[in-house]
Amino acid sequence: MPFYLQGFGFIVLRVGCATILFFATSLTRPTEKINWKLHGGLIGLCSLFGVAANMLMFFKGLEITTPINGAVLMLATPIFVLILNTVIFKQPMTTLQVLGILLSCIGAIFLLIGKNFTFSSTTLPGDLLIIFNAISYAVYFVLVKKLLGHYHTLTISKFTFLIGFFLTLPFGWPELMQANFNMPPVIICEIIFIIVCTTYVAYLLNAWAINKVGPTLVGAYIYLQPVLAAIIAIILQKDILTLQKVIAALLIFAGVYITSLKYKWYKSKA
């Protein structure tokens, strides 16, 4: 982007192709009927917050703000998940959950310190869109948990993406029509990777994990993303290992582990 494909056009392509993958995969298992009268509204909300609003605001926000601002502001997602899970489903907010998420947040911010993180009037609109994106994704994490108690992850994923596709279409179709599809092989491979790995596989695994351990713990694992990015950058020799990165990684791992303690304790009592 934007030389071959603009942001909103990319989202329509991404969501549309992922929808095809979800429906194709669902053919490998028995057909599951949706009670649209009972759960249709909730599926629509998941499509809105988890697919359409989430992706549109993130891509548009990144166009306006800086990548480092976007990375830092996305760290608010697990905090919103914890709060919304408490408000919507009346799940008690434990001291361990709060401590674990705050510890991981501190570690992630410490990892990103010194990388031109700054707020200004220029980046403010983009910063706000990233924050709204984080809230939107958190709402999806919490709402989809209720649906996964009734339907398979594939069923939920294929219908949320199908509805999400039509919601993104008015925003991205004009840009998709202007796309330059005469792309070099490396760009095509990168697009395929985003569609298959960071969309199709990621949403399936997230939904499966939310059903198993709940949205709060799954949200906490978002803090591992900057650590993995740093590890990959070091392996590719695009970054170097420093004491700061080691300390930040230890804080993040410790925070995620502390957040998971409640779930482990519950399982041991079951």
pLDDT at 268: 46
Task: Please compute the mean of the pLDDT values over residues 46-65 and round it to a whole number.
Answer: 89
Measuring CA to CA, which residue among 2, 19, 1 is closest to residue 195?
Answer: 19
How does the average pLDDT of the chain come out, rounded?
A: 83
What single-letter DSSP state applies at residue 223? G
Instruction: State the Cα–Cα distance between residues 200 and 161, nearest whole angstrom.
Output: 10
User: Helix, strand, coil: what percent of the chain each, to 5?
Assistant: 80, 0, 20
pLDDT at 142: 86
Residue 92 clears pLDDT 70, i.e. is over it: yes
pLDDT at 112: 64
Task: Please compute the mean of the pLDDT values over residues 134-158 and round it to a whole number.
Answer: 89
Pick from 15-29, 74-88, 130-144, 151-165: least confident: 74-88
In angstroms, the first-to-last Cα distance of the chain is: 49
Q: pLDDT for 93-102, tens place per residue?
A: 778 878 888 8
Residue 183 clears pLDDT 70, i.e. is over it: yes
Q: pLDDT for 190-212, tens place per residue?
A: 999 999 999 999 999 988 888 88
What single-letter DSSP state applies at residue 196? I
CA atoms within 13 A on the CB side of 228: 5
With beta carbons less than 8 A apart as the criterion, state whether 136 and 57 touch. yes
Give the pTM. 0.78
Burial of 172 (0-12, 13-18, 19+ CB in 10 A): buried
With beta carbons less than 8 A apart as the criterion, state whether 212 and 131 touch. no
Q: Label residue 270 by pLDDT band (50, 70, 90).
A: very low
Rg over CA atoms, the chain = 19
Task: Please compute the mean of the pLDDT values over residues 167-191 and round it to a whole number.
Answer: 93
What single-letter DSSP state applies at residue 28? T
Residue 265 clears pLDDT 50, i.e. is over it: no
pLDDT at 116: 56
